[in-house]
Structure 1
Amino acid sequence: MFGLHYKLERKTMSLAIGIIIAASIGGLIEIVPLFTIHQTVEDSPDMRVYTPLEIAGRNIYIREGCYACHSQMIRTLRDEVERYGPYSLAVESKYDHPMLWGSKRTGPDIARLGGKYSDEWHVKHLTNPRDVVPESVMPPYAYLTRAKARIDDLGLHLAALRKVGVPYTDEMIANASNDAYGQTTPDTPFAEGVTKRYGEATNVRAFDGQPGEPTEMDALVAYLQILGKLTDAAHKAKTAAAGE
């Protein structure tokens, strides 16, 4: 084997051909599965897109580096499924740009965090993690309650996401800022537009517990409360598997 390698190294053309063959094999292994991606990725007709406020919260989540300690991918291992819920499906990350699966867990996986805790719990946890989890090593994010969320440019965010395949409509893009405001102010006329465009099940409330302009805490909690709830595909797959 080594003798063949030494001979190839001494002949430029042979070595070049060998490199091309090796690279072609590796390339085919990576490319061929893409041609069958529509058959391998689950279909989920009930999948909904993130609301503008949830997008703002996701941006804050990325900005603060939360993905470095919390993965969003439950593996098929038994202990993970028993602890976190049904294993993650590819379709659940269909509208995630970039995806935030992660590979490191200083903290628990949060792929199915939505609805597990109350808004008040999340606010306390983000303000001072040790108030609710004494052994936590997570830093505090109390300033999020004081920082106003930037919502004036959310229409641009939605337009950019549409270019990469997220099915935002012209109406959603045009009303992005109003919908972000309406999602945190249920007693205003703007709230009706949110449920009209994103569904009656959309969370509409003051996530940080304070009325008024949405804060970064509002946005981040809104995002955390929707994790694992954009579609029921994983739970349906689990039920179907249990019935076999």
Structure 2
Amino acid sequence: MFKLHYKLERRAIGLTLAIIGAASIGGIVEIAPLFTIDETVEAAPDMRVYTPLELAGRNIYMREGCYACHSQMIRTLKDDVDRYGHYSLAVESKYDHPMLWGSKRTGPDIARLGGKYSDEWHVRHLINPRDVVPVSIMPAYGWLMERTLRMDDLSGQLAAQRAVGVPYTGEMIANAAADAYGQANPDSNASAAVAERYGEATNVRTFDGNAQRLTEMDALVAYLQILGNLVDVNQKTAAAETE
């Protein structure tokens, strides 16, 4: 084996062909499954896209580097499932650009965080994590309560997502700013339209506890509260087991 390697090193063309052959094998192994992606990623007719407010919160989540400490993919390992909940399904990341699966857990996985804690808990946790988790080493993000959410670019954000395959309609894009405001202000005239466009199960409430302003805290909490709730994983699993 080693003698063959020595011989190849003395022949540039032979070594080049061997490298191409080895790289081709690796490439085929990685690329071939993509041709059957439609068969391996299950359909989810009940799944909806992110609302403008949730998408803005996701962008803030990425901006602040939260993905560096929190993964969003529960493995099929028993320890993972026992601690974090049902393992992640491929379809749950269907509208995620980019994916935020992660591979490092300085903090817990948050793929099923939505609905686990109240909005107030999340606000307190983001303002000062030690108030609710004394041993937490997470930095504080109190300024999110003071920063007004930028809304003039929300339509552009939805349009960019549609360009990569997320099925936002023209109506959703045109009303992005109004829908973001309405989702965090249940008493406003714009709130009813949010449920009409994104479904009755959409969270419509004052996420940061202050209806007077739409803040970055509203957006981030709205995003955290939807994680794991875009698809009924238990229903999907039961359906798969009966097929």
> Residue type of the partner of 1:87?
Y
Corresponding residue number in structure 1 for 2:194: 194
CA distance in 2 between counterparts of 1:62 and 1:133 reads 22
Residues 120-135 of structure 1: pairs in structure 2 closer than 5 A: 120-135=120-135
> Residue type of the partner of 1:74?
I
CA distance in 2 between counterparts of 1:100 and 1:59 reads 11
Corresponding residue number in structure 1 for 2:153: 153
| RMSD over aligned Cα atoms | 1.4
Instruction: Write out per-residue CA displacement over residues 95-126 of structure 1, whole angstroms, 9 at most, x where no aligned residue.
Output: 01111111111111100000000001100111
Corresponding residue number in structure 1 for 2:26: 26
CA distance in 1 between counterparts of 2:184 and 2:22 reads 55
Secondary structure of the 1:5 match is helix
Does residue 57 of structure 2 align to residue 57 of structure 1?
yes
Shift of 1:224: 0.3
CA distance in 1 between counterparts of 2:174 and 2:192 reads 15
> Residue type of the partner of 1:110?
I
CA contact (8 A) 1:126 1:142 kept: yes
Shift of 1:241: 7.0
Shift of 1:10: 0.9
Distance verdict in 2 for CA 1:240–1:82, change over 3 Å: farther
> Residue type of the partner of 1:90?
A
CA contact (8 A) 1:203 1:222 kept: yes
> Residue type of the partner of 2:11?
K
Number of residue-to-residue matches in the alignment: 243
TM-score by length of 1: 0.96
Residues 176-191 of structure 1: pairs in structure 2 closer than 5 A: 176-191=176-191
Corresponding residue number in structure 2 for 1:164: 164
Shift of 1:74: 0.4
Instruction: Write out per-residue CA displacement over residues 109-147 of structure 1, whole angstroms, 9 at most, x where no aligned residue.
Output: 100000000001100111111111111111111111010
For structure 1, list consecutive stretches of 5 or more residues without a partner in the other structure: none
CA distance in 2 between counterparts of 1:165 and 1:184 reads 27
> After TM superposition, which residue ranges in structure 1, 4 or more long, deviate above 3 angstroms?
237-244
CA contact (8 A) 1:86 1:238 kept: no
Secondary structure of the 1:19 match is helix
Secondary structure of the 2:115 match is coil
CA distance in 2 between counterparts of 1:172 and 1:243 reads 36
Residues 39-118 of structure 1: pairs in structure 2 closer than 5 A: 39-118=39-118
CA contact (8 A) 1:145 1:216 kept: yes
TM-score by length of 2: 0.97
Shift of 1:239: 3.6
Shift of 1:242: 7.5
Shift of 1:27: 1.2
CA distance in 1 between counterparts of 2:212 and 2:37 reads 44
CA distance in 2 between counterparts of 1:43 and 1:241 reads 11
Does residue 235 of structure 2 align to residue 236 of structure 1?
yes
CA distance in 2 between counterparts of 1:237 and 1:168 reads 24
State the identity as a percent. 72
CA distance in 2 between counterparts of 1:85 and 1:224 reads 16
CA distance in 2 between counterparts of 1:212 and 1:227 reads 26
CA distance in 1 between counterparts of 2:241 and 2:159 reads 40
> Residue type of the partner of 1:13?
I
Does residue 14 of structure 2 align to residue 14 of structure 1?
yes
> Residue type of the partner of 2:18?
G
